[in-house]
Structure 1
Amino acid sequence: MKQEIKPVHGMWASRWVFILAATGSAVGLGNIWRFPYITGENGGGAFVLLYLLCIAVVGIPIMAAEVMLGRKGGLSPINSMRKVAADSKVTQRWASIGYLGALSAFLILSFYSAVASWALYYAWEAARGVFEGVTATQSEAHFNDMLANPGLLLGYHTLFMVLTMVVVARGVKGGLEKAVQILMPLLFVLLVVLVGYAATTPGFKEGVSFLFAFDFSKLTGKAIIVAVGQAFFTLSLGMGAIMAYGAYMPKEVKD
């Protein structure tokens, strides 16, 4: 009988925690910042329907496959693909999928860590009341001043990476699981507050119209490619994250 492989970092306590973690991996700038303007530029509500179709037809099957591969391998994406390939008696070249996922995750981290460090700085500045009554021109100047200060950028980037490493080093239960149980509900509350605030500002109706008005004439081939790409980004596909999260799923949890 083959010995069951258990991830050294622990296992998720339940399917619900896995869903929270997967949601935390997916919901970010790609949905909150990027999605609204690409939706408005590509047909509004018509693009939303196309995007949801891509999620259902392309995204969810690939996501399910990544979770199953992770559960089957029970290791990192690279080693999971090696193990699954060996068990299936096929070429070890399938491990290249794991390497590509790890490379994608590294490149995404390179981008997100920089933007997240900006967010940390802006959170501190907002707490100090720096942005009270500022104009658009002053806000732009403040951002440019931040970018022109390499010491400031390095300091906040280092702070973000240290916080990230602390969470990851504590493993699944003591780190990721506790983090998502706090941060994901907090994110939901923040989104509700932001939507409520936006509803009180001028131009809200125009923004909603820009986002959801149906314009099928803009559903070009380019829009289809954008929708498929957004579906991959939304579900964190092709970067090894979902496969890794699947490896932490307890075997007794049914699919």
Structure 2
Amino acid sequence: MTMVVVSRGVRSGLEAAVRFLMPALFIILVILVGYAMNTGAFMDGLRFLFAPDFGKLSGASVLTAMGHAFFTLSLGMGAIMIYGSYMPGYASIAKTSVIISLADTLVALMAGMAIFPVVFANGLEPGSGPGLIFQTLPLAFGHMPGGTFFGVLFFVLLVFAAWSSAISLIEPAVTWLVENHGFTRVSACVWSGLTTWLLGLGTIFSFNVWEGAKLFGKTFFDLLDFLTANIMLPLGGLFIAIFAGWVMTRRDSQEELAMATVLYGAWRFLVRYVTPLAVVVVFLNAIGVIG
């Protein structure tokens, strides 16, 4: 499905898919939040999400949050950069960035409000990652009124979220093959899609038949997750910050951002000095050098 959408190009493929997937994803999420409000444990979920526990606040947790921002906002993986290249010249990059960040945070909070009340309503321990999604939640939905319907709805939501993410993740590779190696868009989609599919098979098998096969103490899934989230994303973000702050001319970046002089000066200082340093700290924490 991803290859079909991306092969159709930006307007007929990407834009059409996003126009359908994003509203559908949001509507399903609103329905699930409404369902969670009637589980009897909605306030428990809110307390778990929003009640601060300053005893757990540390430098390591701040670095973990910064690393999560890289993942959830697709920073350092080229997707935002490719999408940005398709933006019309009159669009404000700064304003669009703020809107994307706020929308991402809103959806993440709504997802938490949909998930954790269901978990607490069944007396289950809140976890994270694949264990929460594929083990805890199916058990929870299975013991609740209407759980079958809403469980199916939740996994439809998950498919839509994964599909929209897959579209944005494969686009940089397709664009690179088309612009630098003379591939047609269809052939670039096929090669990129097949490569991604083969890697995906490895992650699936690491939960069953390849569970005992480990390298550096990690399964294929864990190793791929570590390489992408802890090494490739921070390094990609670092190189993008260096390019934007030190390679692009002041005139070009100011023209692209269309920001007031004072705001642009602050942005340029941050992207040249603060951002690279912060990314390096996140990277060193991710690989275990500090923290």
Normalization by structure 1: what TM-score?
Answer: 0.48
TM-score, normalised via structure 2 length: 0.43
Larger RCO, structure (CA 8 Å, separation 6 or more): 1
